[in-house]
Amino acid sequence: MSTASTDNPRTAELAVSGMTCASCVARVEKVLRRVPGVESVAVNLATEKATVHASAAVTDDQLVAAIAKAGYEAAPILPEAPPAAPASASQAFDRELASVVVSALLTLPLLVPMFGATLNPWLQLALASVVQFGFGARFYVGGYRAVRAFAGNMDLLVALGTSAAWGLSVWQMFAHGGMTEHLFFEASAVVITLVRFGKWLEARAKRQTTDAIRALNALRPTRARVRDRNDPARERDVALADVRVGDIAIVRPGERVPVDGIVREGRTHIDESLITGESLPVAKEPGARATGGSINGEGVIAIETTAIGAETTLARIIRLVESAQAEKAPIQRLVDRVSAVFVPAILAIAFVTLAGWLLHGADVETALLNAVAVLVIACPCALGLATPTAIMAGTGVAARQGILIKDAQALEEAHAIKIVAFDKTGTLTVGKPSLVAFDAAPGQDRDQALGLAAAVQRMSEHPLAKAVVAVANDAPRFDASAARAVAGRGVEASVGARRIAIGSARWLAELNLDVPPTLAARARELEAQGNTISWLIDLDGAVLALLAFGDTVKPTARAAIERLARMGVKSALVTGDNEGSAQAVARALGIPPDLVFAQTLPDDKARVVGQLKASGKGIVAMAGDGINDAPALAAADVGIAMASGTDVAIEAAGLTLMRGDPALVADAIDISRRTYRKIQQNLFWAFVYNLIGIPLAAAGWLDPMFAGAAMAFSSVSVVTNALLLRTWRAQAGAVDEARAGKPITRPA
């Protein structure tokens, strides 16, 4: 055997199929750890992926073979293969739903005897057998794998319980010539149908977990326009894979930047909000860095490529999301833990019951009936319904109130949230630039100056231009002509006989214009608050006014932070904006300065979330709306996305707030807490029925018919308790997004 050292470790990723629960994950991890040279293993049930860190001597074939021995199928994932959503996966999902519907239709007639009517026993046998061995086959397969691994799981519980009910009904049919008053076929069919429905809901959530990665990959441009290496005067349109470090990429207005690089020619503004979270377009000039995936503004620029492929910022974000999704959830499912002990315990009790009655002289029929009664009363109907019914009720009422919960894991974990890390732009703020201050120079009429600024900006579709026009409705209206964008400096136009411009401080310096001391002091004050400063200029040599642009806080944001505090949940601010802007928003909302993390890039945000998790203060949630938030949303115990944000953020999060209202964060935690309490209550009652019913059945005081009735009643009580969640209502009110938001600093 090769003795290759671990000095050259490798990471292998494998797609694993056939896993159905946490027990399956544990078995796959167990067999992989036994492979010589394997250092660590992480198996993700949601993505059906195994990540193995091992020495170079370990081959993919060895890992695949180990998984096959455990009863599952596996295949290596190629490093450059993008995640896919094949049509066959969607078809399999649709077939699963169809199976649930058909199983339910076959089960409905079996409920007729429960209402005093009669149904031919042979018809009951035919219907129940199709459900039991057709639609319930997956539970036998899962149960077999559990037995082979000397473990217990929900599949084994369902297989044993429903088989006992079905087998007892068949025995009674033949023992009484088909004339028995009550059979238990409905018990087995109902359990299988409802559990299959729960599995379908789980599959629906799992199918969406990889959408975040696919959405991120969709941001990668497939082609780039580069200068020919041999003839710089000639440009070529090439596949992105053919671009090399050092190539010069030409990016025209409105195009997505194809590579990470440094601007060598041209001036423009680039929208980097998808990458950095910065709400305002960023000015770029020669020497500035440009990030692949961002969108170019008004100028043509030439970018020297510095990173390609897996080394780009966008590729790193994708890897961060994948890594965070591969981490194990901190909370294990209670039912899976209990089932490992519950199943062998019930089998032992049933065997002892059978042997005990035979030793005491009872006939075989009596002993068998009492033993089967134990299995029937222990059939995990209530146990299997306890969690899914509460989750279905909780997620249903939450959806009606504007809170979409992707999976049960997020719902379970959200109840214990102790700190919420909020992104700023688009989450606590509106995410659109607004004119937060307009100060006229001494001796200038403010309304006249505002009218001149609006006249120049009406010629532009730039977000900052729209912000100026939006607040100038009451100002005098002037007509502008011959508008011209000056790349990297601003825009100018003719207003009557005057040439009026709106531009940067750099343009002021180039024009040798002096800023009045009062305006200069005001500019420094506004910049310290994180605002972007522009100047209204008469090109004949006068500064007319100062303009400050910034974001606006959502009107419900402060109330949301205060309500979270009353619930015992702390709030933090994690943003890519500068320190001044972050602290200004934090002060407006009541977030303490020590919980403000500014100028954080995507990997920094994930790191901050990791630090908050490591602090041991409890479950950490991240609330955000941008692509730059995706790694942090995935790294958090619970990710909360605003539906007004990007698809990537939504897919990476476990919870989505459909109204973009931060007040819904507290509502999401509240419904999670209520749902989790229902799960605990349901499990308690499910076990109480077993604790009372099993001894009665073993003692012969509960025949199978009453055992079936008790089991049915336990299910009804569990479902009824769960449905009480439907009375819950969110406290957050609807928000008119068109008028939401007040400036942090109002125009003077």
What pLDDT is stored for residue 325 in this prediction?
47
Please check whether residue 371 is in contact with residue 656, taking contact to mean a CB–CB distance below 8 angstroms: no
Which tokens sit at 429?
Answer: 């703020």
* Mean pLDDT on 452-470: 84
Q: If DSSP codes are grouped into helix, strand and coil, which group holds residue 431? A: coil
Q: For residue 748, what pLDDT is reported?
A: 39
- Is the distance from CB of 720 to CB of 386 less than 8 angstroms? no
Integer Cα distance of 145 and 137 in angstroms: 13
pLDDT of residue 706: 66
525 to 154, 504, 552, 584, 597: CA distances (angstroms): 63, 17, 17, 12, 21
Judge whether residue 19 has pLDDT over 50.
Answer: yes
Quote the mean pLDDT of the chain: 79
Instruction: Please report the pLDDT score of residue 564 as a whole number.
Output: 95
Tell me what the mean pLDDT of segment 391-418 comes to.
77
CATH for the stretch 221-316: 2.70.150.10
Q: Domain ranges for the chain, please list them.
A: 10-76, 89-207, 221-316, 404-430+553-673, 434-550
Q: Which candidate, 285, 286, 260, 284, places its Cα nearest to that of 270?
A: 284
Q: Which is nearest to 13 in space by CA: 213, 292, 239? A: 213
The total of other beta-carbon atoms located within 10 Å of residue 59's CB is: 16
Do the strands 49-54 and 10-17 form a parallel or antiparallel pair, or are they unpaired? antiparallel
CATH homologous superfamily, domain 404-430+553-673: HAD superfamily/HAD-like (3.40.50.1000)
Range 248-273 average pLDDT: 89
Q: Which residues pair with 268 in a beta bridge?
A: 284
Q: Indicate the CATH number for domain 10-76.
A: 3.30.70.100
Burial 98-109 (b: 16+ CB within 10 A, else e): ebbeebbebbeb
Alpha carbon distance 335, 388 (integer Å):
11
Mean pLDDT of 203-212: 51
Q: Are 523 and 441 in contact (CB under 8 A)?
A: no
pLDDT at 295 over 90: no
Tens of pLDDT, residues 164-190 = 778 878 887 887 765 555 677 877 787
Q: Which of 35-44, 100-109, 515-524 has the lowest mean pLDDT?
A: 35-44
Q: What secondary structure letter does DSSP report for 432?
A: S
> Which range, 192-206, 582-596, 637-651, has the best average confidence (pLDDT)?
582-596
Residue 570: strand, helix, or coil: strand
> Hey, what are 725's tokens?
């969640």
d(CA 277, CA 577): 7
| % of the chain surpassing 70 pLDDT | 78
Tokens of 560: 């949301």
Question: Rounded to 10 degrees, what is the CA torsion of 55, 59, 63, 69?
Answer: -130
Mutual angle of helices 663-698 and 557-566, in 10-degree steps: 40
How many other CB atoms are found less than 10 A from the CB of residue 289? 15
CB count, 10 Å around CB of 533?
A: 17
- With 90 as the cut, is the pLDDT of residue 352 above it? yes
- Please work out, in degrees rounded to the nearest 5, the angle formed at the alpha carbon of residue 409 by the alpha carbons of 391 and 406: 75
Long-range CB contacts for residues 141-150, cutoff 8 Å, separation at least 24? 142/20, 142/21, 142/24, 144/71, 145/24, 145/27, 145/70, 145/71, 146/23, 148/71, 149/23, 149/27, 149/70, 149/71
- Is the pLDDT score of 472 beyond 80? yes
Q: What is the CATH topology of the domain spanning 434-550?
A: Calcium-transporting ATPase, cytoplasmic domain N (3.40.1110)
C-alpha 451/C-alpha 503 separation (Å) is 16
Task: Tell me the backbone φ, ψ of residue 405, rounded to 5 degrees.
Answer: -110, 115
Comparing 91 with 497, the larger pLDDT belongs to 497
Please list, in sequence order, all residues whose beta carbon lies within 8 angstroms of the beta carbon of residue 408, skipping any fewer than 6 positions away.
202, 205, 387, 388, 391
Q: Is the pTM of this model over 0.75?
A: no
State the DSSP H helix or E strand holding residue 269, giving kind and residue range, or none if neither: strand 268-271
Of 188 and 36, more confident: 36
Structure tokens at 430: 């509106």
Q: Is the pLDDT of residue 356 over 90?
A: yes
**Helix 185-207 with 87-107: angle, nearest 10 deg:** 160
pLDDT given for residue 376 in this prediction: 67
pLDDT tops 50 at residue 82: no
| Helix boundaries (H) for 327-437 | 334-359, 364-377, 381-400, 408-414
Mean pLDDT value across residues 400-423? 81
What is the CB-side half-sphere exposure of residue 192 using CA atoms within 13 A? Answer: 37
Q: What is residue 261's DSSP assignment?
A: E
DSSP state of 39: E
The whole-angstrom separation of Cα 80 and Cα 16 is 18
Ramachandran bin of 383, using left for φ above 0, alpha for ψ from -120 to 50, beta for the remaining angles? alpha
Counting Cβ atoms within 10 Å, is residue 413 exposed (0-12), middle (13-18) or buried (19+)? buried
242 is catalytic: no
Question: What pLDDT does residue 248 have?
Answer: 94
Position 320 scores a pLDDT of 52
Q: Within 10 Å of residue 460's Cβ, how many Cβ atoms?
A: 18
Residue of 247, 423, 625, 667 with catalytic role: 423
| φ and ψ at residue 653, rounded to 5 degrees | -95, 155
